[in-house]
Amino acid sequence: MVSRIIPVDPFDLVIFGGTGDLARRKILPGLYHRFCAGQMPEDARIIGAARSEMDDKGYRKMIGEALDEFIPHTKREAERVKLFLERLHYTPIDAKGDGGWKTLKKLVRADVVQAFYFSVGPALFGDLATRLHEHEIATPESRIVVEKPFGRDLESARALNKVLADSFDEHQIYRIDHYLGKETVQNLMAVRFANVLFEPLWNAQYIDHVQITVSETVGVEGRGAYYDKSGAMRDMVQNHLMQLLCLTAMEPPSKFDPDAVRDEKLKVIRALDEVPTENIVRGQYAADDEQESYIAHSENPASRTESFIAMKVDISNWRWKGTPFYLRTGKRLRARMSEIVIQFKETPHSIFGEDAGSHANVLVIRLQPDEGIDLRVTIKEPGPGGMRLIDVPLDMTFADALGPEGEDVPDAYERLIMDVIRGNQTLFMRGDEVEAAWRWTDPIIDGWQSRGDRPTQYEPGSSGPEDALMLLHRDGRRWREIKA
């Protein structure tokens, strides 16, 4: 297979919070991979900026150590690391004060693509946007990349959109959701809209239901204070699961262009029904012999924050009326996995009689651990003995199907950062989309808060509270098992 890596235009990428966890763990290792893939032009520069006093040399040392820590040694070559680190610069800056901004202005070139990555806490997003504008560093074509969380409710998201809009146009704002950068998520669009096979069946007439699961094995250790104010609904459903739901449920956009795709996603969010209490299950993980409970990491011993949520969501439009979407996400579960399951209906009539059992096609879009798409089809069980049917997988694990290139698909962060440099907003959330998602989320959270609902305790290493299983059982359905 011929490699089709296309270098991007020369750029200056300023990473505010360039010394932080996200920058060291994801952003800079991702940029190193793109550098090795030959995607970074000669004169591309990366400029770290944070309050810590440091020079270029100190920053290169810090990031060199981060690359050692976060990139497997088989993917690190000393010579390449050295060349990559030479692209790095550092300038101290205070988002809340005026220190450092004049130096940054001198450092950033006006004749290349300028991108400013806000890898800092959300409380600083407004300060950064305002100062970039006031110090006349940003041009009308500069891009800013904003990390999650984007607000904690509709009101705060609106305020954030407004403060960014005071200094930047919507076409300059890249609200990142790394789930959208995953290869499989984009493949979901390719599968739907580049094949005639699926789209005619992609509706309530042929699809029984959809399941979206994002399951983690980690708990909240170290992040208890943050998580307690957030919970699974704000931290995962409002953004990641919502985006996956939108891409699964949206109408075909007229073209693969940022606004065409985002318009369709927005229509899905607007068509979501309110979710009645009986369709929501919230859980909080208990302790077991080896691990501490959620509460042990919370600052509030009576915390009612959910570390697990499962819900049945209905979409009121012609395509989906009657086909529920079941969403489920949680921490400290049995395995780390994310998948979208399209459960098709059974054939309207079986010509094979009762002995053949009941069968239905299933399309599984796996986001992790190994990204791929798996279609289960029903065939005759080989051998004599009449017509017995079995379900077999038509598996397309990218690493298997695409050979060595399939293994080297860029990580979500790498792809999204390169999209920022290219000026392609298709895989980033638009301001109105984020607000619409909060508009749907807020009453759900308000509901359980005003009732004072407590989440149900669940066993660590399980698939969540029993009630979550019941959510499907009562509809005559079952979750796909959580397994790695």
Residues of this chain that interact with ligand NAP (CB under 6 A) are: 16-17, 19-23, 50-52, 93-96, 119-122, 124, 147-149
Between 319 and 336, name the residue whose CB sits nearer to ligand NAP. Answer: 336
Q: Are 419 and 427 in contact (CB under 8 A)?
A: yes
Of 121 and 393, which has the nearer Cβ to ligand NAP?
121
Nearest one of 209, 205, 179 to 363, comparing CA atoms: 209
- Residues making up the annotated binding site for NADP(+) are 17-24, 51, 148
CA dihedral of 107, 110, 113, 117, whole degrees rounded to 10: 40
CB closer to ligand NAP out of 28 and 188: 28
Instruction: Provide CB contacts within 8 A for 369, sequence distance 6+.
Output: 336, 337, 484
Angle (CA) 473-474-476 rounded to 5° is 60
| Amino acid letter, residue 297 | H
Measured from the CB atom, the residue of 51 and 192 that comes closer to ligand NAP is 51
CB of residue 101 vs ligand NAP: minimum separation in angstroms? 11
Shortest distance, position 269 Cβ to ligand NAP, whole Å? 21
* 16 sits in which H/E element: strand 11-16
Report d(CA 337, CA 250) in Å as an integer.
24
Q: What is the DSSP letter of 356?
A: G
At closest approach, how far in Å is the CB of 70 from ligand NAP? Answer: 11
Told to judge if 240 belongs to the known catalytic residues of this protein, a careful annotator would answer: yes
The torsion angles phi and psi of 396, rounded to 5 degrees, stand at: -130, 75
Residues annotated as binding site? 17-24, 51, 148, 178, 182, 216, 235, 331
The answer to whether 337 touches 484, Cβ cutoff 8 Å, is yes
| Residue with smaller CB distance to ligand NAP, 308 or 413 | 413
- Residue numbers in the known binding site for substrate are 178, 182, 216, 235, 331
Q: Which residues, including other chains, have CB under 8 Å from residue 162's CB and lie 6 or more apart?
A: none
- Residue 236: phi and psi, rounded to 5, are -125, -45
Choose, from 240, 349, 359, 473, the residue flagged as catalytic.
240
Nearest to ligand NAP by Cβ — which residue? 20
Give catalytic residue positions: 240
